[in-house]
Amino acid sequence: MTTDRRHLKVAVACTFFVAVMVGAAFASVPLYNLFCRVTGFDGTPSIATVEVVPGLKVGEREITIRFDANVQSDLPWTFRPVQRTMKVKVGEVVTAEYEISNESDEATVGQSVYNVTPFQGGGYFTKIDCFCFTAQPLGPNETRRIPVVFYVDPEFAEDRDAKGVHVITLSYTFFNAKASS
């Protein structure tokens, strides 16, 4: 085999390797998010459709849900839970509310991301409706209450790894949606 041919093979192999690695880098975030949603890994809650809810059985085990609210520094909002904690039974469909306020004289748009801790509760925490699914526009100095409808899956009560979990924290952070687009 000639030297030129060997160099060509190495160049093609390197190009192919680089292309695969670049593709893997671009695909890693969506694939990781999909993995977390399917498995509940890293405290990612499930999202239920309304058709699933009618078959829920409310259990005896009670759990405290703690609500946390944060705002990224470049968004001129205040954001707080209306109720800091709430006791719920597993399988019980519950609505909690947060309050958002635009503290500026200009219209703004915020988008929230969320997390559920501890991770043993994340796969069982199921949101039916949530303000985090869409961007939230607020007019100048506007204040609004926004709901999140959720339940803790009854299977949570049967999971031996979750036996010591008595508090689940639902945490949201709003960021400036216009700045990220």
What single-letter amino acid sits at 98?
Answer: Y
Q: Give SS3 for 86.
A: strand
What single-letter amino acid sits at 52?
Answer: V
Lowest mean pLDDT among 18-22, 91-95, 140-144, 154-158: 18-22
Q: Where are the alpha helices (DSSP H) in the chain?
A: 3-39, 119-122, 177-180
The pLDDT of 51-75, averaged and rounded, is: 82
**E strand or H helix at 147:** strand 143-152
Provide the 10 A C-beta neighbour count for residue 2.
7
The pLDDT of 90-102, averaged and rounded, is: 94
According to the model, what pLDDT value does residue 107 have?
Answer: 95
CA separation for the pair 80, 104 (Å, rounded): 17
Higher per-residue confidence, 33 vs 161: 161
Domain assignments of the chain as residue spans, ordered by start: 3-39, 44-180
What value does the mean pLDDT of the chain take?
83
pLDDT score of 77 more than 50 = yes
Angle at 137 between CA 135 and CA 140, to 5 degrees: 155
According to the model, what pLDDT value does residue 26 have?
Answer: 64
pTM of the model: 0.68
pLDDT score of 49 more than 50 = no
- CA distances from residue 81 to 48, 70, 110, 159, 177 in whole angstroms, order as listed: 22, 10, 16, 29, 20
What single-letter amino acid sits at 82?
Answer: V
pLDDT score of 171 more than 90 = yes
Rg over alpha carbons for the chain, rounded to the nearest Å, is 22
Q: Per the CATH hierarchy, to which homologous superfamily does domain 44-180 belong?
A: Ctag/Cox11 (2.60.370.10)
Higher per-residue confidence, 27 vs 108: 108
The DSSP annotation for 95-125 comes to EEEEEEEE-SSS-EEEEEEEEEESHHHHTTE
- Find all residues with CB under 8 Å of 149, minimum gap 6, and list them: 93, 94, 95, 127, 128, 129, 130
Lowest mean pLDDT among 43-47, 74-78, 90-94, 146-150: 43-47
